Structure 1
Amino acid sequence: MSHPISIPQRNLGPFQVSALAFGCMNVCHAYGASPTTEAAVRLLQEALDAGVTHFDTAALYGFGESERLVGRALKSRRDQFVLASKGGMAGVTGEDGVTRRVIDGRPEAVRRNCEDSLRRLGLDVIDLYYLHRWDKSVPIEDTVGEMSRLVERGHVRTVGLSEVSAATLRKAHAVHPIAALQTEYSLWTRNPEIAVLDACRELGVAFVAFSPLGRGFLSGKIGGAEVAAFDAKDIRRSMPRFTAEHYAANEKLLPAYQALAREAGCTPAQLALAWLLQKSEHIIPLFGTTSLDHTLENLGAAQVKLSADLVARLEDLINQKTVMGGRYNEQNNREVDTEVF
């Protein structure tokens, strides 16, 4: 059992949670071979032991497997953590027996997704329920209206949005208070700085930053050889920044980045997380890993303090102008509603 680490607390709607959150996608899919069920359950329990009090899952992850793992690992300690899950994008099995990812924001679909999630989790209520993707064929007001009814029925406590723009956030917030907005944000993905970070601050919405380590890039632990050897099912294979050409260019940023980490007295992963933690009190970095060692390393970022000069050099080194390739391919770009540079 890990000893709890001293982690600052941040506001997430009505909740106080650890300033660093644990993302539960990696425990069942996305980045190649998944851990065994026993190893995944043990990792989730160890993260809670170490001081993490905010866990984030979704109906989509492993087509429900992540939620089943979270329920199995943590439901006996339900009063010790805040749980987030997501609907509006889930696996749907067709007549051919194949399960495919479907974005569906119709009220009846969101209601069904939530009920399915509760069943897999083995719980009565989800603390924070996100719309995983806005279905652009359905007005955001209609989808969030149904999510507000989930609150009224006691199925969820608060409502969140994922990968939406400031304008969409404002429309949704006018229907029902939005507790959190979740979007990719890191040194190499700065799009939230266009508008949505400020909108969250203005509205009192927590900003949950997923992929804060640039899907592994900012950990300094994956070079071109590792990228070339990605598992066939690794989702990074479809991401432009990880093509051979773009990654070769991006990799050239790492020596100077690693030197800044040494100057700060921390690991490259901790540098990326500390940068986010210092940006604003309303930002909660959400990391994912299959390793307890990496979990403990990441949590150590809460103790790292960066000078203004080092932050300026860091932001000069890695930003939207120095990173090659988009964060998503064309299909994924069409599915999100985020601002772009």
Structure 2
Amino acid sequence: MAPPQTLPISQLGKDGPRVPRLGFGLMGLSIAYGPVPSEQDRLALLDHAWSLGATFWDTAQMYGDSEELVGKWFRLHPERRSDIFLATKFAIRSTVSAASPSSGPARISWTIDSSPEECRTACAESLQRLGTDYIDLYYVHRFDKTTPVEKTVEAMVELKEQGKIRHLGFSECSSSTLRRGYAVHPITAVQIEYHPWALEIESDAGTNLLATCRELGVAVVSYSPLGRGALTGRFKSLTDLDPTDLRTQLPRFHQDNFSQNLRLVQVIEEIAASKTLPASSSSQITSTQVTPAQLTLAWLLSQGPDIFPIPGTKSPHYLEQNLGALKVTITPDEDARIRAVIKELGGAAGYRTIGLTDSYSDTPPL
């Protein structure tokens, strides 16, 4: 049985499949953002996403028990495997310490290995955890400092020829790395953080990666498209976060930085307050107020049909709300206003993550 609803779709890369414009990021269902819901609630959320047509799912080897969770869902609903366009990633192995109110958020340590050997091993492990014969989109999550990208892609091509993966993706790569990898085999998508707080992809700071993707016909998958929740307007200070939440460690949420960054959030809130969603044909409500989250996602979608945000959530309510962004239109004046405040602020204050700083990374020559 196909999902009862469908979402707007677009082609993922110039030769890729057609997938929903909004994906579903699964990381927060297993790690990082405070207490993890029960397995029953998480499986129910996957059911709900499927029923809404939100069938572009994104997970990774390092996302706690995320792959196992998806595998359990597939075992419960084997007939739905073909409905899901499933992306996962390799090259980061993580160790997570337990979070608690007394010790604070979980501490994550990691190693990066994008070697051909790790690619083959990690893929076999992911397939076992996921309980599936194939992965629709397999990303290099990060690139190490010793493996030429060409060698990594050669191993991914072997996996594709064996039917284990169907499309190749990179995450956090430079334009040079993308070009070199693409010369070995077409890359379908690049995953990178992209939203009004993170515009490096558009400039020299991000090796002009957006322009390179468009030149090659590679889709851009925007992770953390809501600035790890900050652009929703729900959080005004660190005290709004659970003590076990990883975001309490992120520089952009440190109070001095956060106070500056909230100036952009205020503009997004003001624009959202001036807009309403069109009424659903099945609803008695004539219009619904646009939320800051919907406006932010709509802004990303308005940057081009090759941009695919993948917001995550643990809440059925916020899942539905995020999908409402597909009905929001951004005017040129609204885009200009958002970009003007970004320019005025000089970008977001504080680095966007911790530990994994190898964004827009190059690899050694072949």
Q: Deviations over 1:136-183 (max 9, x none)?
A: 211111111111111111110111000011111001101111011000
Determine if contact 2:268/2:295 at 8 Å carries over to the other structure: no
**Residue 311 and residue 207 in structure 1: after superposition, are their counterparts in 2 closer, same or farther (change >3 A)?**
same
**Residue 338 and residue 104 in structure 1: after superposition, are their counterparts in 2 closer, same or farther (change >3 A)?**
closer
1:67 aligns with 2:67: yes
Determine if contact 1:218/1:269 at 8 Å carries over to the other structure: yes
**Residue 117 and residue 17 in structure 1: after superposition, are their counterparts in 2 closer, same or farther (change >3 A)?**
same
1:293 corresponds to which residue?
A: 317
1:325 aligns with 2:350: yes
1:169 aligns with 2:194: no
Identity over aligned residues, as a percent?
Answer: 41
Once the two structures are superposed, the pairs formed by residues 42-57 of structure 1 within 5 Å of their partners are 42-57=44-59
1:82 corresponds to which residue?
A: 85
SS in 2 for 1:26: helix
SS in 1 for 2:309: strand
Q: Which moved more, 1:68-77 or 1:139-148?
A: 68-77
Aligned AA (2:326)? A
Aligned AA (1:115)? A
Once the two structures are superposed, the pairs formed by residues 170-319 of structure 1 within 5 Å of their partners are 170-194=179-203, 195-224=208-237, 227-228=238-239, 230-265=241-276, 266-318=290-342
Q: Deviations over 1:44-80 (max 9, x none)?
A: 1101111112101100001xx1001112124521111
Superposed displacement of residue 256, structure 1 = 2.9
Instruction: Report how many aligned residue pairs link the two structures.
Output: 327
In structure 1, distance between residues paired with 2:225 and 2:41: 24
1:39 aligns with 2:41: yes
Aligned AA (2:89)? K
In structure 1, distance between residues paired with 2:147 and 2:226: 33
In structure 2, distance between residues paired with 1:234 and 1:86: 23
Q: Which has the higher helix share?
A: 1
SS in 2 for 1:197: helix
Superposed displacement of residue 4, structure 1 = 5.3
In structure 2, distance between residues paired with 1:27 and 1:233: 14
**Residue 220 and residue 92 in structure 1: after superposition, are their counterparts in 2 closer, same or farther (change >3 A)?**
closer
With structure 2 as the length reference, what TM-score do the two structures score? 0.85
> Which consecutive unaligned segments of at least 5 residues does structure 2 have?
97-106, 277-289
Determine if contact 2:143/2:361 at 8 Å carries over to the other structure: no
**Residue 235 and residue 317 in structure 1: after superposition, are their counterparts in 2 closer, same or farther (change >3 A)?**
same
Aligned AA (2:61)? A
1:336 aligns with 2:349: no
1:11 corresponds to which residue?
A: 11
Q: Which moved more, 1:112-121 or 1:260-269?
A: 260-269
In structure 2, distance between residues paired with 1:280 and 1:251: 26
In structure 2, distance between residues paired with 1:55 and 1:159: 15
Q: Which moved more, 1:254-263 or 1:20-29?
A: 254-263
SS in 2 for 1:287: coil
Determine if contact 2:91/2:113 at 8 Å carries over to the other structure: yes
1:156 aligns with 2:181: no
- Deviation above 6 Å: which 4+ runs of structure 1? none
Superposed displacement of residue 100, structure 1 = 4.9
In structure 2, distance between residues paired with 1:280 and 1:253: 22
SS in 1 for 2:27: coil
Determine if contact 1:5/1:299 at 8 Å carries over to the other structure: no
Determine if contact 2:26/2:312 at 8 Å carries over to the other structure: yes
Aligned AA (1:301)? A
SS in 1 for 2:260: helix
Aligned AA (1:298)? N
Q: Deviations over 1:181-219 (max 9, x none)?
A: 000000110011121111111111111001110111110
